Amino acid sequence: FDDRDGFIWYNGEIIPWRDARIHVLSHGLHYASSVFEGERAYGGKIFKMKEHHERLLRSGALLGFQIPYSVAEIDLACEEVLKVNNIVDGYLRPVAWRGSEMMAVSAQKSKIHLAIAAWEWPAYFSADARLEGIRLDFAEWRRPDPATAPVASKAAGLYMIATLSKHAAEAKGYNDALMLDYRGQIAEATGANVFLVQDGKIHTPIPDCFLDGITRQTVIALARSKGYEVIERAIMPEELANTQEVFLTGTAVEVTPVREIAHYSFTPGAITRDLLLGYDEMVRKPG
Ligand code: PMP
C-alpha cells in the first residue's frame, strides 16, 4: 500500500505518498500509542466530518495524549488531502501516534504526529456480497471489559484482537467475525456495529465496551425517524435463533446485511433493505 502515487498530509505538510515514513523506534509501533479514524467522502463531501475529528481528539485524550491540531484544522487538512489526490468518493484515514523521541514505556515528552491519507474505495464488501448478505463466524477473542482497556478510544491496540478474529474467520471462508464481549454478550463485528431484527423491532447491544459508531448513531436516528422501534439492550448469542434479520453498520461497510452467523441463518429483509437504501440516500444527499 506504500508504493504508489499520491499525496499524504504529514504533520502539516503535503508530501509524496512514498515518502510518508516513520522511524522503527516509534513509540506507537512498540507500545500501540496510536489512534486513528476512518471516514468517507461522498461527492467530495466528508460525511459527519466534525464527529470523526472530535472522536479522533477524544481517542488520543483517552490514551493520555493531545493531538496538536484542532478539529477545524483537521477538517481543513482532510479536505486538502481529497483535493490534492483528486478524490470525490473515497475513504480517509487520519492516524496519530507517539514518535521516536523516547524509547520506553514512559514517553511523556514524545512528539504526537498526525498523518492523513485518502484513497478511492467504493464499497468495503462487493455489491453482490452486500445484496446477498455476508457470512460471519463467532470470534474466539472477546471485547475487553472497560476496566481492562480504554474501549471508547479508536485505538490501534484494540484492533489486535480484531485482526486475529478476522483472519481466523477468513481462513474458514467467512467474510468477518462477530465478537462477543467479556460477559459473553453480542458486541460487534471486527470493524462495524451489529443490529438484529426480531418481530419487526430493531435490537442492538449497548456500546459500553466497544465503539458507539457514528454510523450506528446515524442509523438508529434514521430508523426511529422511519417509525421503527430501536431497543438498545444486552443480547446473548442464543437469541440469534429467534432473529429474522441481521445487519452491520460502519463508515466502511455502511449498512451491510448478514445472512449467516456460524450455524444461524437469516434472510436480509424489508427492514434491512429500507435502512440500507435510506442510509445510501442520506450520505449521497448534496449540501
Ligand atoms: N466498531 C469498530 C471496531 C470499528 O472499527 C468501527 C469503524 N470505525 C465501528 C465499530 C463503526 O464505527 P463508525 O460507524 O463510526 O465507522
pTM equals: 0.96
Return left, alpha or beta for 51; rule: phi > 0 is left, psi -120 to 50 is alpha, else beta: alpha
Domain 127-283 has CATH 1.10.10.10: no
CB within 6 Å of ligand 1 — which residues? Answer: 38, 162, 188, 191-193, 210-211, 213-216, 249-251
* Distance in Å, CA 183 to ligand 1 centroid: 20
Whether the Cβ atoms of residue 160 and residue 107 lie closer than 8 Å to each other? no
For the segment 226-254, the average pLDDT, to the nearest whole number, is: 97
- List the grid coordinates of 122: 467504493
Ligand 1, pocket-test mutation among 46, 51, 151, 154, most atoms within 8 A of CB: 154
Nearest CA to ligand 1 atom 2: 191
The pLDDT of residue 122 is 67
* Complex ipTM value: 0.99
Q: Give the least confident one: 129-133, 180-184, 208-212, 265-269.
A: 129-133
Helices 270-283 and 214-225 pack at an angle, to 10 degrees, of 110
Task: Outline where the chain has alpha helix (H).
Answer: 27-31, 49-62, 71-84, 127-132, 160-171, 214-225, 270-283
Tell me the per-residue pLDDT of 175-219, one tens digit each, with 9 for 90 and over: 999 999 999 999 999 999 999 999 999 999 999 999 999 999 999
Q: Which of 48, 50, 154, 285 is catalytic?
A: 154
Give CATH 3.20.10.10 domain extents, the chain.
127-283
DSSP letter, residue 209: S
Nearest CA to ligand 1 atom 7: 191
DSSP string over 94-114: EEEEE-SS--SS--TTPPEEE
> Using 50, 70 and 90 to split pLDDT, how confident is the model at 285?
confident
The pLDDT of residue 121 is 84
* Distance in Å, CA 191 to ligand 1 centroid: 5
The pLDDT of residue 182 is 98
Q: Is the pLDDT of residue 123 over 70?
A: no
The pLDDT of residue 33 is 98
Q: Is the pLDDT of residue 124 over 60?
A: no
Nearest-atom number in ligand 1 for the CA of 39 is 16
Fold of 7-120: D-amino Acid Aminotransferase; Chain A, domain 1 (3.30.470)
Nearest-atom number in ligand 1 for the CA of 217 is 14
* Distance in Å, CA 161 to ligand 1 centroid: 14
Tell me the per-residue pLDDT of 137-171, one tens digit each, with 9 for 90 and over: 999 999 999 999 999 999 999 999 999 999 999 99
154 is catalytic: yes
* Distance in Å, CA 2 to ligand 1 centroid: 24
For the segment 242-258, the average pLDDT, to the nearest whole number, is: 96
Give CATH 3.30.470.10 domain extents, the chain.
7-120
For the segment 76-100, the average pLDDT, to the nearest whole number, is: 97
Percent helix, strand, coil in the chain, to 5, is 30, 30, 40
> Using 50, 70 and 90 to split pLDDT, how confident is the model at 125?
low
Q: Is the pLDDT of residue 287 over 80?
A: no
Mean pLDDT of the chain: 95
